[in-house]
Every structure is written in C-alpha cells, then in structure tokens.
Amino acid sequence: MSLPLALPRQLSRQQRSGLSSAWRQPLALAGIAIVVSWILLAILAPLIVRGDPLAQDFPRFLPPSPQHWFGTDGVGRDVLTRTIYGARISIPLALLLVSLSLLTGSLLGALAGYFGGLVDELVMRAADLVFAFPTLILAMAVLAALGPGLQNAVLAIVVVAWPAYARVVRGLVMSTRGADYVNATRLLGASARRALVIDVLPNVAGPVLVLATLDLGAAILLLSGLSFLGLGARPPAPEWGSMIATGAQTFNFWWVGTFPGLAILTVVLGFNFLGDTLRDALDPRTSRDIRQRVL
C-alpha cells in the first residue's frame, strides 16, 4: 500500500470555520455596530435614560434641547426616553415573530420538500393563498378577525410571513434530498429522518438564516406599520409606529415623529447589512471551489 498522501496545507483557522473577508467589509462592521448598539440600548434602557417613558411630566411640544435631546411630545413625555424604550418593544417582538415564522415555515417547507406528493401540494397551495394577498392587507384582515393588540399583531404577521420560509426551505430540501451524499447515507442504512436531520437540514440552515436576518428588518417595519394604523400597539405604549402616527398629526412639531422614524430606519438598515454580510460569508466557499477548478 502506498504511503499516506500528503494533505494540502492546513487552512488557517479563519478559513476553516467558514469566516471570510466578507466580515471585514465596512458594511458588515456597520451592520454589526448598529444592531449591537440597539440591542444594548434595549437591554440597558433603564440604566441609560432616567425617567419613565409614560410620565407626562414635562411641558408639551418642547423642541430638542440639552435637557430633552429629542424634545417632548403632545402630552409632555420625553421623546428620547420613549424612543429608546421603543426598542424594548420592537426588537424582542421582531425576534419572536421571525422565530415563529421561521419555525413554522421551515417545518412545513421541509415536510413538503422531503415527502412531496400530497403533503407538498397542501403546503404549497396554502402558501400560494397567502402570497395572493398584499402583505399588509392580509395582516390587517387577520387582525380584524383577532382584534387589535400587539400579541395579535405578532400572530397576524406570522400567518403572513411563514410561506416565504416554507418556499425557500422546500426548494433547498428538494435539491439536497437528491444529492449523492444523501443517497450514500441512506445506502448505509440511515432512516429518512436521520438523513433529513443530519444531512439535509444543516445545508438548509445557512440560507434560511440569511432570510431570517433580512426578515427582521421587514418584521419591524410591518409591526410599526400596523401600529401606525392603530391596529398593533395601543397608546400609551412607546411603540415607534404609533409614535409616528401621533407625530404625523402634528407635523410642525417635527421631532415627535422624526426620531422614532429614524430609530426604525437605523435598526432596519442594521439588520439588512447584517443579512447581506451573512449571505456573502456563506457563499465564498462555492465560488472558491469553482475558481480552483478552472485551471
């Protein structure tokens, strides 16, 4: 028997763990910075801003000043405090929302993709039904049936958001299911369940994670949108969407609506940058493979 072959040079730890130069891009750093800052703000809010977001202690409609960086609103509440406390509503809810959609959607999509046939038909028709309606309208319709409120808003958005995950996961599962390495494990005696869990799902997780991260931004927008329409959070909760709604009624006191709006803008951008970076970070392995074969 010939001597063991020399292996290629050990890849650096960074290369082996799949991290690549994608994380060192300015957009990635910006995304990480923004998201981390907001999460810290949300967690540490009581320590950072003194005062109660619901307290109506101050003179109304004060413009931004050194005492009130973001001014005060129509009933005398400090806008800065309310904006920061808004993160404690929007961000956890968005995370909850995306997690629920991801779990339901992925599970249904995986079943549809792996088993095909009737299961596939049922899931896909249900998804088509949801896709047929504009997102916001459908969410509003569900909310109308359930009654307004933040919890119901979350539920409504999950109903609207799961098909996107289902479709992505179904496609990935279908393409992975036929891959030779899945066949190989089945030939070794693996059950369909084992093949699904050990071989198929890990390859599916990456793109789904990208989708979820990008979805976080969309979830916040949708949540805020519903609250803006009066269907989600109810006053006096410091939710960004409802704050913008109130602010929109008093446009000349621009600070009331603008700062919550900027908050939404920055958070959503941060998650989008993060999602894009994730997608780039997960891709290079394939493109590197292709490059090496061209020679």
203 near another protein, judged by CB under 8 A: yes
Among 73, 78, 199, 276, binds another protein (CB under 8 A): 199
Minimum Å gap between C-beta 7 and another protein is 6
Pull the structure tokens for residue 247.
Answer: 């602010």
Size of the site for another protein (CB under 8 A): 38
**125 vs 293 by CB, closer to another protein:** 293
Among 198, 248, 262, 265, binds another protein (CB under 8 A): 198
* From 38-46, 76-84, 207-215, 287-295, span contacting another protein (CB under 8 A): 287-295
**34 vs 182 by CB, closer to another protein:** 182
Minimum Å gap between C-beta 292 and another protein is 7
Q: Residue 189: left if φ>0, alpha if ψ -120 to 50, beta else—which one?
A: left
Nearest partner of 136 among 233, 264, 226, 215, judged by Cα: 226
289 near another protein, judged by CB under 8 A: yes
DSSP code for 190: -
**234 vs 288 by CB, closer to another protein:** 288
Minimum Å gap between C-beta 286 and another protein is 9
Phi, psi angle pair for 72, to nearest 5°: -125, 160
Minimum Å gap between C-beta 205 and another protein is 9
202 near another protein, judged by CB under 8 A: yes
Whole-number Cα distances in Å, 291 to 207, 285, 286: 22, 10, 9
**5 vs 145 by CB, closer to another protein:** 5
Pull the structure tokens for residue 21.
Answer: 């130069």
Per 3-state DSSP, the chain is made up of helix, strand and coil in percentages (nearest 5) of 75, 0, 25
What string marks each residue from 163 to 192 as x (binds another protein by CB under 8 A) or -? ----------------xxxxxxxxxxxxxx
Return d(Cα 204, Cα 218) in angstroms, integer: 21
**Chain positions contacting another protein, by CB under 8 A:** 1-9, 11, 16, 115, 179-192, 194, 198-199, 202-203, 285, 288-289, 292-295
